[in-house]
Amino acid sequence: MTLYMSSATSVTNLSTTHKNVFQLVDMVATESNHLLRDKTLCFPGRHHMNIQPKKTFPLSSLNQMKIRVPRTLRASANGKGRAELEAIFGGNTSTESSDFPDSKADFSRLELEIYHSGGSFGDQNVASVVEKLNALRSHLLAAEKWNASRLESCDRKYLECATNLIHYMALRSLDIEQLNSDLASLGLSSLDNNNVTVLASLNSTINLLMNSPYSKQSDVIESRNNAYPKQLKGKSSKKNDKGRVFSYKELLLGKLREGRSTHIMVTVGKEATESETFITDVLKAGASVIRINCAHGDPSVWGEIIKRVRRTSQMLEMPCRVLMDLAGPKLRTGTLKPGPCVIKVSPKKDAYGNAVSPALVWLSLTGTQPPPAHLSPDATIFVQDEDFLSGLQMGDSLRLCDARGKKKMLRITKEFDVFSSSGFVAECFDTAYIESGTMLYVKGKKGRRLVGRVVDVPPKESFVRLKVGDLLVLTREGSFDEPCVTVPGAHKVTCPCGYLFDSVKPGETISFDDGKIWGVIKGASPSEVIVSITHAGPKGTKLGSEKSINIPQSDIRFKGLTSKDIKDLEFVASRADMVGISFIRDVHDISVLKQELKKRKLNELGIVLKIETESGFENLPLILLEAMKCSNPLGVMIARGDLAVECGWERLANIQEEVLGICKVARVPVIMATQVLESLVKSGVPTRAEITDAANGKRASCVMLNKGKHIVEAVSMLDTILHTKLIYKKPDSEILHCSASH
C-alpha cells in the first residue's frame, strides 16, 4: 500500500543509508501540476533513534510504505521565502516551486532572510515563526489530500482518527527541531507535545502568534488570514478530543468503575475453574477485564471460565469484559513426554538437614474444590474413597509406603468444611514421594481401620536443562521419542511449525522461552535444526513444553491466521467481547482478518492488535489505517515479551514510547502487557523497578497482569498504584498551550 506525504528534497543535514534513501516514481495526477518525479527523498532512519535528541517516528516503516510526495509550496516573487498555498485548494499556480524547509539549516536560513529584511526583533521573529508554521500547515494538508482515497475508505467513526494520524506522520517526517526551539523562545510548547489534534494545535499556535503584542499584521499574516479565514479562527477541540478518546476506550474495554481511569486485565487459565472464589477475588481486587489465551486449554475450559466471569460480574454488579487471544503463528517447542505422576512432600530443614517445621498437606476427595484461600499447603493429595475421609478424626496417623518403598506417616491436624465435603490438613516430618495408587492406612482405637487410595496426582513437568556449550536438536513434530542419531548426546525437543525448518540458516541467532535461553544455529535440514547454546543460567536453564521460539534475523513468512485461529474464532465470536490477534506483521494480516470477520458478520467484536514483532512495529501506522476500515472497536496491545526478544531489550523502552505516541494520535486504546509486577505475582514481593513500571501504566488505557500464585495481591496493589493521586503533578503543556489559544 502507498502512503502519500508532502515533504522536501533538501536533506543536507540528515543521515542517509541504503535503507532510508528511495526513489519517488510513477507519480500520476491529472488535477495537479506540482508533482515530484524521480526525486530522491531521505529520512533519518529508525536505527538512529537512540542517538538523536528528539523522539523519532519509526521511519524505517516509511521506506516500506513507498511514500510519494506532492510539492505544495512555492517561493514568493520577492524572494523572501514566504510560503503560499498552491493547487491543493484549486486555482492556477506556477509550475516553478521550491521545497518545504524540512531541516534546521533551511529553517534558520528562512529566519535570517526575514530578519535582515527590516523591522524590530519581536516583529520579525514572530513573522518568521508564523511563516514556518504556515508552510508546515501546507505540508500537513497536502499529506491529507494525497491520502484522500485511504481516508475515504475508513469507517466513519475513525475518519478523524485516521486524518490526525496522517497529519502526525507528515509532521514526524520533517526535522522541526529548530522550529520547536523558536516556539520555546516565544514561550510556546513544542509541536511534538500537541499530537492529540495535530492540525488544530498548529492552528491554535498560529492564531496565538497572530494576536500577540509583537504582531503588526504583516503581509505574511494578512495573506494567511485571507487564505484560511475559517480554519484559522476555529476553536481548539481539546476537550472534545479527550471525550472522544475516552469513548473509544469505553467502546472497546467497557465502562470504568467509579474513581478509576485505567482498566486492569488479568490472564487466567484452568486454575480459575478449580476455585469457586478465584474470579470473585480478582474482580473485587480491581480487575475489569479477563484474558484467556487460546494457546492453552480447550473450549471446555474456556467456556467454564467465561461462565464464571459472567455470573460473578452480574452478582457483584461489577462490569467485566472478556478478551480471548488467538494463538497466532507463534513458534513454540512441542509437547514433551509427560513425566511420572508423583509429588514430593518435604518439610523445611535447617542448615544441618534437620526438619524444623513439617510440610503441610491438603487432603480431600477427588473432584472437590482446592483448599481455602488463606491456606498455603506444600502439597495437595486427592483420595477416591469418601468413606475414608468421613471416618478421619483429629490426631489420626496415616501410614503409607512411598514411591521409593520407604514407610512414611502423615498426621491429621485440622479439618475444614469445603462446600459439600470436608478437607483435612496433615503434617509430614519426613520427605516422601507420593504417587497415584499409593495406599493410606489408618489404625485407630477399638479396632477402627480405614484404607484410602491416592488418585489424580498430576504428571511432573518434563524439561531439558540446557547449559552454555550444549547442543540442542529441534525436530519436526512427532519425532520426540526417536533417538537423536545425527548428534549423539545432544538434547532434543520438537517444534510443530514447519516454517522453522524451511527458513532458518546457519549463523542466525535463536532464543527460547522469551529470551531466557539463546543459541546460534549451526546446521539446518528439512527435518532438523542444530543449535549451540550461547546463553543460559549458571546452573543451566530449563526448557519445557510449549515455550516460545524467536529467530529475530530470519525472514520467516507466516500466515496471518492459522487454521487453529480460524476454528477458535468461531468460539470467540459467540462467547467473548474482544479477540486478540497475535503476531500482526503487516497490512495483509489485517486484510485476512477483515475477510474472516465479514464472513461471520462480526461488526461489534472488539479487535486487539498485538504488536510483538519488529515488522508489526514498523508497519503500525499502516496497520491502524487498514484496521480503521472496519467498524469494530479497535485497540493495540504492547506485548513486551516477544517484542523485546525480536527487537532487542535495549530498544524496548523507545519502542513502547513510539507505540504509545502513535496510538495516542490515532485515538486507539493501548494495553500495556508482559511482566507487569511479575515478581509480586510469582513470589509475593515486588521489585522497586516494577512499581515505577506499573505507575507508567497510567498512560495506557489498560494494564495486563499475567497469572501467578499471588495474582489477587498483585491486582490490588496495581489498582492502588494506578489510581493514587500524585502529590505533585507537572503541568500539562498541551493544556497550557490550548488554553492560551482561546
Q: How far apart are CA 679 and CA 133, in angstroms?
A: 49
Determine which helix (DSSP H) or strand (DSSP E) holds 129, and give its type and residue range.
helix 121-146
Identify the pLDDT of residue 416. Answer: 86
Q: How far apart are CA 322 and CA 341, in angstroms?
A: 34
Most confidently modeled of 88-102, 107-121, 502-516?
502-516
Q: Which residue has the cell 476455585?
A: 275
- pLDDT tens-digit map of 138-165: 999 999 998 999 999 999 999 999 999 9
Among 90-94, 350-354, 357-361, 590-594, the range scoring the smallest mean pLDDT is: 90-94
- Going by their DSSP bridges, the two strands 449-455 and 439-443 should be labelled as antiparallel
In sequence order, the 6+-apart residues with CB closer than 8 A to the CB of 257 are 288, 318, 319
What CATH architecture does domain 246-328+559-738 belong to? Alpha-Beta Barrel (3.20)
Paired with 100 in beta bridges are none
Q: Which residue has the cell 493495540?
A: 636
Contact 719, 708 (CB under 8 A): no
The yes-or-no verdict on residue 216 having pLDDT over 70 is: no
In this prediction, residue 77 has a pLDDT band, given cuts at 50, 70 and 90, of very low
Percent of the chain with pLDDT over 70: 73
In sequence order, the 6+-apart residues with CB closer than 8 A to the CB of 319 are 254, 255, 257, 288, 313
The yes-or-no verdict on residue 447 having pLDDT over 90 is: no
Contact 278, 271 (CB under 8 A): yes
What are the phi and psi torsion angles at 94 (to 5°)? Answer: -70, 150
3-class state of residue 387 by DSSP? helix
pTM of the model: 0.74
In this prediction, residue 212 has a pLDDT band, given cuts at 50, 70 and 90, of low
Identify the pLDDT of residue 715. Answer: 96
Identify the pLDDT of residue 481. Answer: 45
181 alpha carbon, distance to own chain's centre: 33
Q: How far apart are CA 45 and CA 215, in angstroms?
A: 38
For the chain, the structural domain boundaries read 21-236, 246-328+559-738, 342-455, 463-550
In sequence order, the 6+-apart residues with CB closer than 8 A to the CB of 308 are 272, 273, 279
How many Cβ atoms from other residues are within 10 Å of residue 515's Cβ? Answer: 16
Q: Report the CATH number of the 463-550 domain.
A: 2.40.33.10
Mean pLDDT for the stretch of residues 389-400: 88
Mean pLDDT for the stretch of residues 539-562: 85
Same fold, 246-328+559-738 and 463-550: no
The yes-or-no verdict on residue 718 having pLDDT over 50 is: yes
In sequence order, the 6+-apart residues with CB closer than 8 A to the CB of 391 are 442, 448, 450
Contact 172, 67 (CB under 8 A): no
- pLDDT tens-digit map of 360-392: 999 988 877 777 777 888 999 999 888 888 888
In this prediction, residue 36 has a pLDDT band, given cuts at 50, 70 and 90, of very low
Q: Which amino acid is at 385?
A: D
Q: Which amino acid is at 376?
A: S
The yes-or-no verdict on residue 542 having pLDDT over 90 is: yes
The yes-or-no verdict on residue 188 having pLDDT over 90 is: no
Exposed/middle/buried for 67, CB within 10 Å: 0-12, 13-18, 19+?
Answer: buried
The yes-or-no verdict on residue 106 having pLDDT over 60 is: no
C-alpha R_g of the chain: 32
Mean pLDDT for the stretch of residues 221-238: 42
Q: Which residue has the cell 489505517?
A: 625
The yes-or-no verdict on residue 428 having pLDDT over 60 is: yes
Identify the pLDDT of residue 733. Answer: 42
Mean pLDDT for the stretch of residues 600-609: 93
Q: Which amino acid is at 449?
A: R
Q: Of the candidates 178, 88, 184, which has an alpha carbon nearest to the alpha carbon of residue 139?
A: 88
Q: Of the candidates 207, 275, 271, which has an alpha carbon nearest to the alpha carbon of residue 236?
A: 207
Q: Which amino acid is at 331?
A: L
> What DSSP letter does each residue of 75-92 carry, written as one string?
--TTSS---B--GGG-S-
